[in-house]
Amino acid sequence: MVAIVTGASSGFGYEVCKQLVEKGYKVYGISRRKLAPTGVTAFSADVSDESSVRSIIDEIALKEGRIDLLIANAGMGISGPVELTSNEMARRIMDVNFYGQIYAAQAVIQYMRAQKSGTIVFVSSVGAPIALPYQAFYSASKSAVNSVALALRNEVREYGIRIAVVMPGDASTGFTDARIKQNTQGSKEEDGTDSLYPGCDNAVASMEKDERTGISPEKVASVIVRAACKKNPAPLYVAGGKYRFLLALYNLLPTRAAVWLVGKFYLRSEK
């Protein structure tokens, strides 16, 4: 069984690679840094570069004769008010989190369709169905992944290709420290007046505290691998019992109440 994992150099992707190797998969990792666990063949590429991703996947398919599994995991994070987020950074997060996953999926589907089997697992976020204040573009990128993945599930069903999405909640990985902050004003402007969004820094710090004490990447990886190995995976999985409860509650509430509750929770540090 041949598996490809994007974002394999750290976090969820690294742990997924390890667990797939233990299950007997021949694993190939794709990430910007050419790093991967022992037993994994690593390739270096920016997942937002379609030609590089497709070239690597074509090379793997030519060598192995098949591709059984894709874990589309690579991603990045930004935070800050929508108004203050640069267009360049908004496009960048869509290029990595959305197009980076779609490019990989498009490249493997032709091989899975020919062999009439295969599984693609997209790694999204609980922040997809629950729009996060001061992480709007992150939520938007992950929500886009969910929409395409669920549509794709029906499109490729007849070819024996299975599609699933795993949505982790807050997790303790290097993702937190790598987040790019767009609220560069801080709590005060240069002239000493209050910034437009004085609560942003505290709100993001609160989110990051939750992440640092969140679920382990090993546990998230086990959910991803479990979904990947099922003969008939569910469309959506949530990693973390607390987040399954919160998402269920969010979906039960009227939209006005649900959005208000999210604001109260994530902006609890604002004064």
Among candidates 142, 152, 50, 166, which has minimal Cα distance to 94? Answer: 142
Spatial distance between the Cα atoms of 21 and 26, rounded to a whole number of angstroms: 7
14 catalytic residue (yes or no): no
Residue 141 a catalytic site member: no
What tokens does 227 get?
A: 């979904």
31, 48, 79, 124: which is the annotated catalytic residue?
A: 124
Active site residue 10: no
Catalytic residue flag (residue 26): no
Tokens, residue 255: 């939209």
What DSSP string runs through 93-134?
Answer: HIIIIIIHHHHHHHHHHHHHHHHT-EEEEEE--TTTTSPPTT
* Spatial contact of 37 and 19, defined as CB atoms under 8 Å apart: no
Catalytic residue among 134, 138, 237, 243: 138
Q: How many CB atoms lie within 10 A of CB 163?
A: 24
How far apart CA 125 and CA 146 sit, in angstroms, is 9
Whether the CB-CB separation of 138 and 132 falls below 8 Å is answered with yes
Q: Active-site residue among 14, 25, 99, 142?
A: 142
The set of catalytic residues is 9, 124, 138, 142
